[in-house]
Amino acid sequence: MRLAIYPGSFDPITNGHLNLVERSLHIADRLIIAIAHNVKKTSLFSVEERIDLISQSIPEAHRDRVSVDAFDGLLMDFVKDQEAHMVVRGLRAISDFEYEFQMAHMNKRLYGDCETIFMMTGEEHFYVSSNLVREIARFDGNLSGLVPPHVELALKDKYSS
Ligand code: PNS
């Protein structure tokens, strides 16, 4: 059974993330979407809200193969706890590469039995990021096609309150 971990902030989940979830299921039997409590970033959505938004985004057909979890501390400790050996990450553009390259090597050093698998983000999503999505939402811009409809509603709710 090939188990993969898809870690990230997911603040909030976008259609770009969901494209990666879908494609990860071609190489893994089970996928855990793992939300990091990132101390460096202040998040818009709480971890509980993010778990809820992600869970609602998983298509019915994949629900038995995909779960959502959150972790504190090092990703590699979470990966070991789950007895996983594969992490998946999306690469949107060259600008992602340096950070991802550094992180993958550092993670390899921390836990040699884990491989990081990179997937190029689908061409229709390569410019989509949670940061930009939040900014568009803050100024009441059009989010259709960038995030699932329930995420769009949750963003509108956040910025109207
Ligand atoms: O979606 P993001 O914010 O680019 O995801 C980054 C994430 C959460 C994968 C990364 O910050 C992470 O793994 N954080 C957990 C702490 C950790 O293990 N840090 C050392 C990485 S070498």
Q: Give CA–CA dist 103/78, Å, rounded.
A: 15
Q: Give CA–CA dist 72/145, Å, rounded.
A: 31
Q: Which atom of ligand 1 is nearest to the CA of 76?
A: 18
Q: Report residue 59's pLDDT band, with 50, 70 and 90 as the boundaries.
A: very high
Residues β-bridged to residue 86: 4, 115
CA-proximal residue: ligand 1, atom 3 (nearest) = 9
73-85: pLDDT as tens digits: 999 999 999 999 9
Is the separation of the CB atoms in 127 and 44 below 8 Å? Answer: no
For residues 129-143, give the mean pLDDT.
Answer: 96
Is the separation of the CB atoms in 108 and 17 below 8 Å? Answer: no
21-58: pLDDT as tens digits: 999 999 999 999 999 987 677 899 999 999 999 999 99
Using the mean position of ligand 1's atoms as its centre, give its distance from the Cα of residue 40 in Å.
10
Please state the pTM of the whole predicted model. 0.96
CA-proximal residue: ligand 1, atom 19 (nearest) = 74
Confidence at residue 93, expressed as pLDDT on a 0 to 100 scale:
81
Confidence at residue 121, expressed as pLDDT on a 0 to 100 scale:
87
Q: Which two tokens stand for residue 70?
A: 């959150």
88-126: pLDDT as tens digits: 999 988 888 999 999 999 999 999 999 999 999 888 888
Confidence at residue 80, expressed as pLDDT on a 0 to 100 scale:
98
Using the mean position of ligand 1's atoms as its centre, give its distance from the Cα of residue 8 in Å.
6
